[in-house]
Structure formats: C-alpha cells, structure tokens
Structure 1
Amino acid sequence: MMRAWILPAVLALCGAAMVAGPGGRGEFGVAVPLLLLFLGLAGLHSPLTFPRSLSAAEARRRSAADGRPIVYWRAGCMYCLRLRIRLWRGARGAHWVDIWRDPAGAAAVRAVNDGNETVPTVVVAGRPHVNPDPAWVRAQLRSR
C-alpha cells in the first residue's frame, strides 16, 4: 500500500522544495501557482483519483454476476490515469483492482502479459485487453 503513495509524496515534496526559493523571497505570485501545480499532480497520481479497489477474487465474482469489466491498474501509471480521466464518471461502472495492493491481481496481469505487469489491463467477458482505447472501454461500460 505504501508503494502507491511514493510518487504523490515525491511530487508534493518536490513542489515544496521548488516554492521555497520564490516563497522565501516573497514572490507569492510564482510560489502559489507552482505549489498548486505540484499538489495537483500529486493528487492525480494518488490512489484517491481512482474508484475504490477490490481484490481480484471479489472483482471476478462481481464481474461474473453483473458483466461489468475489470480494470487492473496501479498508482503512478500514466496510461491508467489516462484511462481513468477519459472514462470520467463512467469509471465507477468498472471493477478496479490495484495490482500493488493485491498480489492475486498482479499475478492475473502477469499471466496474460507474458510475465509483465502491464497496466491497464481490462478484462471483459473473461478476455483480457492490454492498454485498450478509452473509447472502447467506455463503449463496453455502456453496453452492460
């Protein structure tokens, strides 16, 4: 779980370090927007941006019952972030599994990606799709 917060923490600390100079000189017109930029980036890369993660077993069980896709992701992944942003509110229609929090989820991703933890991996009707087009995933969510 701590691994998911490393990148956001580094971004927040870098932002604080970057504003120390202009902030110390009283240049708040530069310091405040710079700090907000880094804090925004930290927020985007944090697990808070994504819907609540399920375990892989729970996601498979729910997907079998309701037919909704399973999205395997991890914090700090730009492609996962791109998918999440492009799905917007529709992202709540999928079952999300953070592979850094769930070893079974990481194993499921490695099983379909030749041993690599390539995310996002979206499983629809039991078929895995690696880094699919967000428009395609959105269409899959609408059809369920």
Structure 2
Amino acid sequence: MNISFRSAVENDLAAIAALLADDGLGRARETPSDLEPYRAALRAMQAQTGNDYILAVDEGGAVMGCLQYTLIPGLSRSGMLRAQIEGVRVAGAARGQGLGERMLRHAIERARADGAALAQLTSDLRRADAIRFYERLGFVHSHAGMKLDL
C-alpha cells in the first residue's frame, strides 16, 4: 500500500470521525453525524504549537489511518519534551497490512526530530490487541494511567 502522511484539514473531518467511530468503544463515544465539535477541536489544535492530527492517506487521497500527535513541554526530568500519541486508528480495509506500525514509526521519528526524549500513549484496557501491538513496538507499561470524566 502506497501511503503518505500529512496533517488533517477540515475537509478530512468526516473521514476522521468515521474512523474514530469504527469500533465498539468508538461507536458509543463518537458522533460522526455532527462534525461541528470535531471542527472546533481541529481549529483549537491547529492554533496550538506542537499539536497535529496526522493522517495516513493512500494514492487517491483516501484517509486510511490517523493519530493525534502532541508535544508536551514539562519541568520534570530536567525539562524534558514529551510526545503524546493518541487516537490511533486504521481503516478496516487497511488493517493487518502494517499501516498502524508505519504510522507509529512515523510519529516516533517525528518526535525524535522535534527533540522529544520520550514518546508516550495511553490505550483503553479493553483494547487488548492494541496494547499487544504497542508492546511489540517497544512501548512498556511503566505507569498506571487514570482518567476522570468531567
């Protein structure tokens, strides 16, 4: 599969929302029929330095995968810069072809180039296959993640 990577634009939002909703967990959390919240979020991301929504697109321009990439400056660990990777999704037609690995490796290399010393991500514990995938790429369970719905 010939894939290129680029930043998301507003015209991509329908495809992105569909990808985010394309699993059991996403179906309950996403509303691809209403793009306005996604539009507002993308605009806010674009206004923030170091925050990007990366797409994997095929030769015809179809969105085959996506992830959010955010640089997080911090004071801990002597002011270390971190890269946060979230919302990794691959289109059903492209699953099992190595696209997820290519996307993650792209984000990791970008993090290195941006000066980050650590790439981190979270994954819902119900996504056992995703967790095994991340472990295969070298990510380790070093912390317990916690969330609070507001």
Q: Greater strand share, 1 or 2? A: 2
TM range (shorter): under 0.3
Q: Which has the larger radius of gyration?
A: 1
Larger relative contact order (C-alpha < 8 A, sep ≥ 6)? Answer: 1
Q: Greater helix share, 1 or 2? A: 1
